[in-house]
Amino acid sequence: MAISRRAIVLAAGAVLLALVPPVAGLLNQPFYVDLFRRMMIFAIAALSLDLILGYGGMVSFGHAAYLGIGAYAVGILAFYGVDNGFLQWSVAVAASAVAALVIGAISIRTSGVYFIMITLAFTQMLYYLGISLETYGGDNGMPLRTRSQFAGLVDLRNPSAFYYLVLALLVLFLVLGRRLVDARFGRVIRAARSNEPRARAIGFSPFRYKLAAFVLAGGACGLAGALLANQTEYLTPDFMHWTRSGEIMFMVILGGMGTLFGPVLGAVVLLGLEDVLSALTEHWQIILGPFLVVVVLFAKRGLFGLVEGEVPRDG
């Protein structure tokens, strides 16, 4: 039965992720804690994009903007000596949400190629803004003075503690996201993606719901940005480069759009392959490229569709 198979896949995934720090410890390979933490941070970014891309049908080609805003919020506050994580991360989420509100309010009035181009343009603006901020390192970026402080609750300098915090946040976002897409709100954005004129004819004004989803996704990705700044302990405008937006979108498509769990798998597989292949050859992208093409061509519902098996699509 498909539902139980999904449950098994998800439980296995959660257990495997939870086992990474002890196993890495046993193997004396602390590097893997770092790698998998990075995967989960991008998984949060990718699942936030899936909300608007997979469920809302909004092909945002600028999701890295919120990653950058979240990271810079943490970095700039730390630069001025504000190390309190609660404050830093709240600012990261709020600033990203406000940016998403502005970008969304303008771009959601368009659709198709125009929507893609406008979201891309805004992100490029932010990228060049980052480059021009000489105080914060310009295009070289700057190191994070210190990881966010949580008043003794969690110590992010402890790799495992940081790891489990990221895992907990990932699970939290998966649960929240799952509830949201099945609740009234999620059904409206899915209906608008399915057939917008019909949604309008039965009395929905899709704009406000799509904008709200855009803002939620931006805020969630902002938190991923705050995590990423702590992960790399360095921030650079490259976080907002358009290739980064493309990478996040690829995680979503590779894993399976409109599934929330798929993008998590997509992030793990993409970053994992990058790590394995780049150790083999300098030209690892020559191997990665065809692999991605094959998945997109032959797995309609992405990798998650393959692991999960056939599930009838339902409303």
Partner 1 sequence: MAEPLVAVRGLSKSFGGLRATDRVDLDVEDGETHAIIGPNGAGKTTLIGQLAGDLRPDAGTTRFAGQDVTSLDAPARSRLGLARSFQITSIFPDFSALDNVALAVQAHSGSSFRFWRPARAERELREPALAVLDGVGLGARADVLAATLAHGEQRQLEIAMALATRPRLLLLDEPVAGMGLEETQRMVRLLSTLKRRLTIVLVEHDMDAVFTLADRISVMVYGRIIATGSPEGVRSNAEVRRAYLGEGTPP
Sign of CA dihedral 233, 234, 238, 240: positive
Nearer to partner 1 among residue 157 and residue 208 (C-beta): 208
Q: Which of 14, 62, 61, 11 is nearest to 40 (CA)?
A: 14
Return the axis-axis angle of helices 31-50 and 2-26, rounded to nearest 10°. Answer: 150
Q: Quick one: which H or E segment has residue 143?
A: strand 142-143
**By CB under 8 A, is residue 133 in contact with partner 1?**
no
Among 134, 282, 310, 314, binds partner 1 (CB under 8 A): 314
Could you give the CA distance from residue 177 to residue 172 in angstroms, rounded to a whole number?
8
User: Out of 140, 205, 281, 285, which residue is the one contacting partner 1 (CB under 8 A)?
Assistant: 205
Q: Which stretch binds partner 1 (CB under 8 A): 38-46, 76-84, 182-190, 229-237?
A: 182-190
| Binding residue for partner 1, selected from 79, 204, 242, 284, defined by CB under 8 A | 204
Position 178, amino acid: R
Interface with partner 1: number of residues (CB under 8 A) = 29
How far apart CA 65 and CA 145 sit, in angstroms, is 22
Please report, as a single letter, which amino acid is at residue 168: A
- Under the binding rule (CB under 8 A), the answer on residue 157 touching partner 1 is no
**Nearer residue to partner 1 within complex by CB, 150 or 207:** 207
Residues 211-250 that bind partner 1 (CB under 8 A): 212
Rounded distance, CA 270 to CA 250, Å? 8
The smaller minimum CB distance to partner 1, of residues 112 and 315, is found at: 315
182 binds partner 1 (CB under 8 A): yes
Phi and psi based region of residue 262 (left: phi greater than 0; alpha: psi -120 to 50; beta: remaining): alpha
Pick the binder of partner 1 from 203, 279, 280, 298 (CB under 8 A). Answer: 203
CB of 61 to partner 1, least distance (A): 24
Chain positions contacting partner 1, by CB under 8 A:
176, 179-180, 182-188, 190-191, 194-195, 197-205, 209, 212, 312-315
